[in-house]
Structure 1
């Protein structure tokens, strides 16, 4: 990696108050190389230019630390993790996190497992499961301090995937674009049913461009009723409203 490119990345990160060590930059670069190589045969990302992956995947993922305080050693689950974004990026930046990558497609889990092994990441689990099923398992239900989800589903569906996994007092964080008002309104009833408080919205933009970003934060104040999440597919077919 050229020094000038590395410095450009660090400058963009500095805009959001994030500092990566050279080793962290190299680890993320190794992950990106794996992502691009595998992407030739498997659809992991629509972005195939390294600089844009840094900006639209890596830096975008790290915006969560601008929006919320995540305590040392927190148990975090990345719901619908895909190729491991944002979870793997969060783990490289914050090695103290106890991370679970939740993904329903087996081929993506296989990629995650290979990436985690090659990058030497510890205290990270790749869980092959649908969110509706994981949310009913004793070892995962209401066990996480934070659930994050990026580009997975509309908010009224997403809360049924995430909130059952979050412990009371914990936090769900959804990565979104600028138009969140309609999603928030449509999700009001679902959030209340599933134990969430009134959402808070962090508003910012992606360095190196004009893209606006919104991170929706929902604190969990009460336990999720035992009949949620509903069986696999139901949150998508019949969202709570």
Structure 2
């Protein structure tokens, strides 16, 4: 990691209105350091410069923390203690590991069909001592029971995705694992209007939140979705 990474991280947290203890900030940097090491041989992400990883991966994922906790915009605090989060197609455990570090009372399950990516999340849990981060090497299917690696998964209260397929694919693949009042959170760049017109029947957009990612010029959005038939959120 760059020498100024701790200071840049502290500045990003301040800009996002987040308060995170020093030990948790060190875990965020530890995640990126391990990702950079693995990426040299395992090709987990196209971003190879550690300084760029800090912004494009860490800060980008940190930008969703406050919106997910904001009951006024999100319908409820999706990162409350006891929540079960499914990171679909987690890649470098993003955003899963960031959520697990920032919300230690949440159980985060990273699922990826690529063995080396699930192995990375497993190693990350071991090296950083993240007992609330779980890695699963499995493929999600919209029309068949969950694979054995996922059959003991508790009902998912929030499914998240970042750079994973279309909204319809994300929802259909995760739906068999969702709790009755479960919600979806998709990290996107430009607002994907065509995808929003193709949502599965019975699912609607509950919020489209523009994200301001520190030190990033690109447009970013967080889309929150839920079942139309779900009981009203508190």
Q: TM-score, normalised by structure 2?
A: 0.84
1:207 aligns with 2:219: no
Distance 1:127 1:84, change over 3 A: same
CA distance in 2, matches of 1:134, 1:140: 18
TM-superposition CA deviations, 1:159-184 (whole Å, max 9, x none) = 21223322121210000002311221
1:154 to 161, 166, 181: 166
The alignment's C-alpha RMSD in Å is 2.2
Distance 1:198 1:133, change over 3 A: closer
- How many aligned positions are there? 217
- Give the unaligned 5+ runs of structure 2: 69-76
1:79 aligns with 2:88: yes
TM-superposition CA deviations, 1:34-61 (whole Å, max 9, x none) = 1111111111111122222121111211
CA distance in 1, matches of 2:53, 2:214: 13
The aligned counterpart of 1:31 is 31
TM-superposition CA deviations, 1:12-55 (whole Å, max 9, x none) = 22212122222112112222111111111111111122222121
The aligned counterpart of 1:110 is 119
Deviates more, 1:113-122 or 1:47-56: 47-56
Determine if contact 2:161/2:186 at 8 Å carries over to the other structure.
yes
The aligned counterpart of 2:183 is 171
Moved >4 Å (runs of 4+): 1-4
